[in-house]
């Protein structure tokens, strides 16, 4: 399922939530992505979590995203993603829904994961997924 040769970055729902609540998070990440010619991957699970937690609707969230990333890649839950997320849940007790779906998506698309969730980042690294806190992603490379 890897998305071509272009580097992709998957932002966890907590990154979007912090952006909606406080601002100042997406802009530096988007600048870093632009410099490295990376594309943003947004799983439907992330949009659902952002909607559930902030009360905003997906259109408002995407309008906000489009200010910084003009052509994000939207990813639906596929059978392949759901199978991988089940394996992750069985392997790591702390990796539960929606984290397991987000990590499975990052793993199967070959995306770098950016999150504020240190447990998720640790699990991602154990699975061979490049993973960073937002501030470390901005400084990386």
Residue range 84-104, pLDDT digits in tens: 999 999 999 888 889 999 999
Q: For the whole prediction, is pTM greater than 0.85? A: yes
pLDDT in tens, 43-66: 999 999 999 999 989 999 999 899
Mean of all residue pLDDT scores within the chain: 93
> What is the arithmetic mean of pLDDT over 14-37?
94
**Strand extents, DSSP E, 1-141:** 8-11, 39-43, 73-75, 112-114, 131-132
The model's confidence at residue 5, banded by pLDDT at 50, 70 and 90, is low
* Domains contained in the chain, CATH given: 8-136 (3.40.50.1010)
The two most distant CA atoms of the chain are separated, in Å, by: 38
User: How many angstroms separate the CA atoms of 96 and 141, rounded?
Assistant: 30
The two three-digit tokens of residue 128, written as one number: 């061979």
pLDDT at 141: 62
pLDDT reading at 2 higher than 80: no
Q: Which long-range contacts (CB under 8 A, 24 or more apart) does 60-64 make?
A: 61/16, 61/20, 64/16, 64/19, 64/20, 64/26
> What is the arithmetic mean of pLDDT over 90-119?
94
């Amino acid at each position: 399922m890897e998305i071509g040769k272009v580097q992709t970055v998957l932002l966890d729902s907590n990154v979007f939530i912090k952006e909606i609540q406080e601002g100042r998070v997406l802009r530096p990440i988007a600048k870093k992505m632009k410099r490295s010619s990376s594309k943003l991957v947004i799983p439907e699970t992330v949009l659902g979590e952002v909607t559930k937690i902030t009360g905003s609707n997906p259109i408002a969230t995407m309008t906000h995203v489009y200010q910084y990333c003009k052509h994000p890649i939207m990813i639906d839950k596929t059978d392949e993603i759901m199978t991988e997320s089940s394996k992750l849940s069985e392997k790591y007790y702390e990796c539960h829904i929606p984290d397991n779906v987000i990590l499975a998506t990052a793993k199967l698309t070959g995306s770098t994961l950016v999150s504020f969730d240190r447990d998720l980042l640790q699990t991602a690294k154990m699975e061979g997924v490049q993973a960073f806190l937002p501030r470390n992603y901005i400084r990386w490379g």
